[in-house]
Structure 1
Amino acid sequence: MLTINIAIILPFLAAMFIIIFLRNFRQFHIGWLVLLIPGLLFFLIFQHIPAIANGQTFTNQFNWIPSYNINFLTYLDGLNMIFGLLITGIGTLVVLYSIYYLSTDQSLISFYIYLLLFMGSMLGVVFSDHLMMLYVFWELTSISSFLLIAYWYQRKGSRYGARKALMITVLGGFAMLAGFLMLYVVTGTFSIREIIDSSAMIKSHPLLLPIISLILLGAFTKSAQFPFHTWLPDAMEAPTPISAYLHSATMVKAGIYIIARFTPVFGGVEFWFWAVTSVGLFTLFWASLTAIRQTDLKALLAYSTVSQLGFIITLFGIGSLSFHPNIHVDTNTILYTQAIFAALFHLVNHSTFKGALFMIVGIIDYQIGTRDLRRLGGLIAFMPITFTIALIGSFSMAGLPPFNGFLSKEMFFTAMLSLKEFNIFSVESVATLFPVIAWIASIFTFVYSMMIVFQTFFGTYKEHPTANPKEPPFGMLLPPITLGLLVILIFFFPNMLSDYILKPAVYSVFATANLEPFGTITLWHGFSKELMMTIGVVLAGVTIFLLRSYFKKIYILFPQMLSFDTIYNRSLEFGDWFAKEITNRYMTGYLRHYMAYIFLVFMVLLGGSLYFLDAFSFTTQNDQSVGPFSWILAGTIAIAGMSIIFAQSRLTAIVFNGYIGFAIAMFFVIFKAPDLALTQLVVETVTTALFLLCYYFLPEWEKVPRRINWVNIIISISVGTIFTLIALSVNSGRLFDSISTFYEHADELAGGNNIVNTILGDFRAFDTMLEVIVLFIAGIGVYTMIKFKQTKGASKIED
């Protein structure tokens, strides 16, 4: 099916079209043209919902590098359809929002090019069925997000945040690449579907734990999980449309997609369960606690995003228990509906209310000129529509009815409470602790949600010199209004989303046709434990919100020196200092030192490897005898080479060096290669003349006392010995027939009797042509420098 391939390639083609044809186009806001791309892609993916809901899947293959089993494989099922709809749907709203948010005097061309590159990369990640293809797009998301975060590169914070995000996510990507290569070693395939089918073999392989660790490192760094969460708050230096797109709906969900996609492979493994669940739950708690201390609205939303991502990942960790062979069907029913299903449900819900909240914060910053909660207040009287959307998004994030976040949060509580029913992986030991941590984190979530609403829109309005306290243009309000309406519609009609999108996605994870355990989503479950926990969240949250000025003193217990931002910055400072120290030690400015380092490394690595591999083995039985003239010639070359060291003048050294070159030409004559001998004679003559010309302009030779440097002598002898041993070993260890026998038929193959000329003119014609091109380019460079120097000198004379 070509639709998915088109969805991946179209953003890249659109970006290329803008670069080529619209680079200097300034007639109108180019965002109106870019808006067509995500809108069209959303429609292309949306039309497959009925087929996917009926259990169909779509695949397509395009051979890329078949010799290495690397092909352009795409796959569409219920799981990646959710991500595809979010990437294109939220992307459409973000582009519309950015048309009004960004002024036309900014570098809009670059902005939309980066945005399209990121969109195509994200679609490539979720629709790839080939590990190497997925990894390529994975790193492209890191690169394009770096460009988007650093869009306002004039700001120091933007550059810092972009570098931080790139460093952490790319290092995680390298770890994930190693895990993918290990999967290939174990399974012999790069296809994700085939890897899922080989899950039993993978779980019994000795590389299982390293594979899980490396893949989770990639997922955790991209999804900003503890302790890699520090990059996301600094990435808030990006323009608000980027924050709404990358850091709420798309890029941070890439790690969640990896965990969801590989849950069928590693689900039921104890290490996978504890790593995913514990990291997700602690991230949920820590980030929600940290969010309360924030005074910048975007920073608050950044930590809330980290917390909500931990919420979703925790559910996937609990849901992975469903793949344990000791889980029986009745218990499986609970995990189906309350873990994987709830994770995907909250994935959609989070994208709607968090995308709306980011856009609202952008509107406040755009109209008021500040995001500082300490300088905001009383905006409800001036911006009632903005307040309404902020109320909907915040209350949904807090898990209150009648908003979609309430439904998925209740399922989260149910999944946490269900842990006590399992007696695998010693889960019963944390069956009480996990729900308590989740409940406390939900309290903090409620508190920072109330901070957004009440500290921003209630109280006394504070005047600002640049403030324009009124609603923005309707075009800027339309995207968050759309997301706010979705928040409410999903609450009242959750089963439409469930039947057509969520259930097929869970079916893709579990690969089972039995959809009965899902049932329907109901708005009222009676006075259950989950409802009691929600009431407790509200009561405790209201209390902490009213006493938050006292509660914030708890952060005194956490020294700033031990914060992860400080650790990150100190590690960079140490790395910079260490690199400078090492560099200053070997960058002495003397060529002889650099040559010594190169030769030492050469001896240790190459010589040591050949020694331990027992590769130094040779015989001289089949070698031809060496005549007396050859021995005399070799001896004179050795004497001339050693004499250069003791030469008392430059002219003497040049003469000895020239003799070595001419003597080598004599060897070519002995070996019956007159063409090479003639070439060597010409080159050596020209080189000797150039040496004489260059040294003519140098200062006079300064005679200084000579000291014997035994280190250099040892290095020289060792390098010569290793080269000699390698040459003898290679000559004696031929595994194949010599290629020279092929050239013996040069007259038949190329029509030439001179083998050397035939090799240069026919067999190596392309190589020879490239060598000529290199010389031609060098000649142009020399000519240009000469002309530039002459022109520069003439201009000075004129001045």
Structure 2
Amino acid sequence: MLTVILAILFPFLAALLILLLHKKTSTIHLGWFVMTVPFALFVLLAFYIPAIANGKTYSHTVQWIPAYHINFITNLDGLSMIFGLLITAIGTLVILYSIYYLSTDEALKPFYIYLLLFMGSMLGVVFSDHIMILYVFWELTSISSFLLIAYWYHRKGSRYGARKSLLITVFGGFAMLAGFIMLYHITGTFSIREMISMYSQSKTHDLFLPASILVLLGAFTKSAQFPFHIWLPDAMEAPTPVSAYLHSATMVKAGIYLVARFTPIFGGETFWFWAVVTVGFITLLWGAFCAVRQTDLKALLAYSTVSQLGLVMTLLGISSLAFLTDTSVETTLYTQAAFAALFHLVNHATFKGALFMVIGILDFRVGTRDIRRLGGLMAVMPASFTIALIGSFSMAGLPPFNGFLSKEMFFTSLLHVQQLSIFSLDTFGFLFPVIGWVASVFTFVYCLIIVFKTFFGTYRKDARIDVKEASPGMLIAPAVLSLFIILIFFFPNVLGKYLLRPGLFSIFPADMAYSIEPISAWHGVNGPLFMTIGILIVGSGLYVFYRYWRIIYTLFPQKWSLDSLYHHSLTWMENISNSLTAVYMTGYLRHYLLYIFIFFSLSISTALIFLGAWPDQSAPNAPIGSLHWMLSMMMIVAAVAILFAKTRLTAVLLNGFIGFSIAMFFVLFRAPDLALTQIVVETVTTALFLLCFSFLPAWKKEAIKRGKSVTHLLVAISVGVVFTVTALAVHHGQLFTSISDYFEHADKLAGGKNIVNTILGDFRAFDTMLEVIVIFVAGLGVYTLIKLTSKGGPSNEDQ
């Protein structure tokens, strides 16, 4: 379906339009124009909801590089529809919020360009069926998020957080790319749908396990799973609209999408189950535990996002067991876990987006996000309090909010898993509900901290700041999300019928006999209900007596944290790099040439030895006449004489003599075109040398120690020998068929009769294009530096 491709390209085209047409003097906030992009895409996707709910899928292929099986293939099914709607719906609300959050004094044009690039990249990830195209958009999300996090680049924290997120997510992206290449080697196709259909034949391949490990690395780094979660809290240096968008509907959800999409390929394998479930549980518990200790509300929400993503990842790991069982009853239990994962994914987008926007309002109106400086804001900011209450209690899993429904489904899945006898779950399965319950207790505690520490207690009025409720325009977006939190609780099966079930059908094969139970707020007196009651009792007690047990956090000092390990590792690598660079970057050109020549001699001679590509003495060679010998000897004498020249003029003339002698060789070998070219080049070069040297100071020949002279002599001789042997070896062509056979068909391949002209004009055109691109990019860099300097742009000093 061409509509999906246009939906992916639309944000990129809008970004280009802003770049070309927007004027700095515009009095209308740029956000109003940008908001139409995600809103139009949301309406467009909404038209296809009924068809997708009935099991229809849409795919389209645009030929790109068919010779290498790389085409722009898109796929719109239930799973991609969920993510597409989240990206566009939350994107619309985030842009609406940003209109009131960012003033026209800010650099709005780059902000919205980055945001549109981010949006388009995420749509490309979820709609791509070709793994190489998916990878391209995957890395574009890393780059665009880097630009968004570093939007306030004059802040040290923004630059640090952006670099940290880029390093970790790009590392995972490279690992994922290697996994994709392995999958292509296994299946012979780049299409995800075709890979899924070949699951039974693929799982026995030797590369199947390494491919699953590498794909999970990409998913874990992008979705901030332990131990790669450390980039997410530092990403909070971005403006609040970016944080709300990144946490609720984009970036971190890309890793969740990848695991869900590839579960039909890797699901049912022991490693996949234990890796996803173990990492998910650790992330769930550690994120919730760390969130409680935070004093910055944004940091608290960042760790809560880490925890909630761990919950979704755990459910996806449990659902992978559906590919291992044959009974419809057990299959239904596992697919119910995937259903809960998708449900909580949507719920998390609503309450986390609302909470981030409220925190942004507090920072905007109060001037701080520090919990220790907040309190008593309920009376001053009642609307913000109401939204924060709804969002927090939904995240805590309390009724009547949507988070309660998905949390109960999470507990139900955990209780079912502990009864299994596969994968040693009969031994370790009891830990599943225990870990989930403990993490939920900490979740309840930090949700109480958000509500009570911020809005209850004594109001600390600052005479310098007039604290008041946010404007109605700023409250619209979080209020809409809060409304959806409540509506989903009362009408969950509307969401289940039109979005969640089709998403489930996209993960599991159609022949699986499963029947998802309707979502209900009351399932009777059962295990999940008792777990919820226990959370309320224990969580409330921990909150009230927090000052007595918070000493436990001293057992995890900052210097032993993963953040500290990352920072010290990066510092150590930078120091090693600087020390190593200082060794060989001496500032002397002769040293650099020496390194190049030594590397050339060693690498080429090693290749000659191991390949056995020595010249064949029995091969016929053209006869060498006396004139050739005389010319060669004169060139040798001139080359040696350059070393003993007293003036630059003498050296230039001797060098020119060597060049013109080469032209004479071309004449003797009956190559007049090459001879003319050589004469012209040598004449121009000699003239340029003389012109440049006339402006240089007097030549003082540098005294070189005898040992260095001997080293230079040996290197020069080795280069000459290797060059000669390589030329003879290539001439005899022992190892490979000569490439000239390919160019002999130049008339058919490129339509040219002259082989030399065809090689220069057609076959080297791509190489020339890349060279021009390199020069163009370098020119852009120089232009940017000059422009910043001329405008007195920001320095690299920390501000």
TM over 0.5: yes
Give 1:562 shift.
Answer: 1.0
Question: Aligned equivalents of 2:517 and 2:704: distance in 1?
Answer: 94
1:396/1:403 contact within 8 Å kept = yes
Partner of 2:540: 542
Question: Aligned equivalents of 1:763 and 1:349: distance in 2?
Answer: 60
Question: Aligned equivalents of 1:759 and 1:342: distance in 2?
Answer: 66
Question: Aligned equivalents of 1:77 and 1:629: distance in 2?
Answer: 77
1:649/1:701 contact within 8 Å kept = no
Give 1:66 shift.
Answer: 1.6
Give 1:645 shift.
Answer: 2.5
Question: Aligned equivalents of 2:699 and 2:385: distance in 1?
Answer: 84
Partner of 2:697: 698
Matching of residues 323-402 of structure 1 within 5 Å: 323-324=323-324, 326-337=325-336, 339-402=337-400
- 1:424-474 Cα deviation digits (max 9, x unpaired): 221222111121111110000000000001111111101124433332111
Give the AA of the match of 2:351: F
1:410/1:531 contact within 8 Å kept = yes
Give the AA of the match of 2:385: F
Partner of 2:706: 707
SS in structure 2 at match of 1:62: strand
Partner of 1:80: 80
Say whether residues 1:512 and 2:510 are aligned partners.
yes
Question: Aligned equivalents of 2:376 and 2:646: distance in 1?
Answer: 90
SS in structure 2 at match of 1:292: helix
Question: Aligned equivalents of 2:702 and 2:200: distance in 1?
Answer: 77
Give 1:364 shift.
Answer: 1.3
Give 1:289 shift.
Answer: 0.4
Question: Aligned equivalents of 2:178 and 2:405: distance in 1?
Answer: 39
SS in structure 1 at match of 2:228: coil
2:328/2:514 contact within 8 Å kept = no
Give 1:372 shift.
Answer: 0.9
Partner of 2:269: 269
SS in structure 2 at match of 1:64: strand
SS in structure 1 at match of 2:218: helix
Question: Aligned equivalents of 2:161 and 2:90: distance in 1?
Answer: 23
2:328/2:513 contact within 8 Å kept = no
2:331/2:514 contact within 8 Å kept = no
Among 608, 611, 623, the residue aligned to 1:610: 608
1:321/1:327 contact within 8 Å kept = no
Partner of 1:449: 447
Give the AA of the match of 1:590: Y
Question: Aligned equivalents of 2:167 and 2:198: distance in 1?
Answer: 33
2:647/2:699 contact within 8 Å kept = no
SS in structure 1 at match of 2:33: helix
- 1:393-432 Cα deviation digits (max 9, x unpaired): 1111111111111111111111111122222221222111
Say whether residues 1:556 and 2:554 are aligned partners.
yes
Among 456, 459, 463, the residue aligned to 1:458: 456
Among 406, 409, 413, the residue aligned to 1:408: 406
Matching of residues 140-151 of structure 1 within 5 Å: 140-151=140-151
Partner of 1:728: 728
1:291/1:300 contact within 8 Å kept = yes
Question: Aligned equivalents of 1:243 and 1:737: distance in 2?
Answer: 55
Give 1:624 shift.
Answer: 1.5
Question: Aligned equivalents of 1:347 and 1:448: distance in 2?
Answer: 20
2:332/2:513 contact within 8 Å kept = no
Give 1:764 shift.
Answer: 4.6
2:328/2:512 contact within 8 Å kept = no
Give 1:610 shift.
Answer: 3.4
Partner of 1:57: 57
Give the AA of the match of 2:331: N
Residue-pair matches, total: 764
1:619/1:732 contact within 8 Å kept = no
Say whether residues 1:418 and 2:416 are aligned partners.
yes
- 1:662-687 Cα deviation digits (max 9, x unpaired): 32222122112334334434443454
Give the AA of the match of 2:404: F
Partner of 1:580: 578
Report the CA distance shift for 1:686/1:486 in structure 2 as closer, same or farther (over 3 A): closer
Unaligned runs of 5+ in 1: 782-799
1:23/1:109 contact within 8 Å kept = no
Question: Aligned equivalents of 1:105 and 1:216: distance in 2?
Answer: 42
Give the AA of the match of 1:673: A
Partner of 1:789: none
1:241/1:359 contact within 8 Å kept = yes
SS in structure 2 at match of 1:511: coil
Which deviates the most, 482-491 or 622-631?
A: 622-631
SS in structure 1 at match of 2:496: helix
Give 1:619 shift.
Answer: 4.1
Give the AA of the match of 1:399: G
Give the AA of the match of 1:583: T
Over the matched positions of the two proteins, sequence identity in percent amounts to 58
Matching of residues 78-477 of structure 1 within 5 Å: 78-324=78-324, 326-337=325-336, 339-477=337-475
Give the AA of the match of 1:4: V
Report the CA distance shift for 1:84/1:611 in structure 2 as closer, same or farther (over 3 A): same
1:50/1:500 contact within 8 Å kept = yes
Give 1:374 shift.
Answer: 0.8
Question: Aligned equivalents of 1:120 and 1:95: distance in 2?
Answer: 14
Partner of 2:523: 525
Which deviates the most, 405-414 or 260-269?
A: 405-414
1:75/1:129 contact within 8 Å kept = yes
2:331/2:513 contact within 8 Å kept = no
2:64/2:72 contact within 8 Å kept = yes
Which deviates the most, 177-186 or 636-645?
A: 636-645
Question: Aligned equivalents of 2:655 and 2:618: distance in 1?
Answer: 30
Question: Aligned equivalents of 2:168 and 2:558: distance in 1?
Answer: 21
SS in structure 2 at match of 1:218: helix
Report the CA distance shift for 1:63/1:465 in structure 2 as closer, same or farther (over 3 A): farther
1:282/1:310 contact within 8 Å kept = yes
RMSD over aligned Cα atoms: 2.6
Report the CA distance shift for 1:616/1:107 in structure 2 as closer, same or farther (over 3 A): same
Question: Aligned equivalents of 2:601 and 2:462: distance in 1?
Answer: 70
Give the AA of the match of 1:208: F
Partner of 1:642: 640
Question: Aligned equivalents of 1:750 and 1:332: distance in 2?
Answer: 64
Which deviates the most, 708-717 or 314-323?
A: 708-717
Question: Aligned equivalents of 1:234 and 1:402: distance in 2?
Answer: 33
Question: Aligned equivalents of 2:90 and 2:559: distance in 1?
Answer: 38
SS in structure 2 at match of 1:349: helix
Give the AA of the match of 1:51: A
Among 479, 487, 491, the residue aligned to 1:493: 491
Give 1:212 shift.
Answer: 1.2
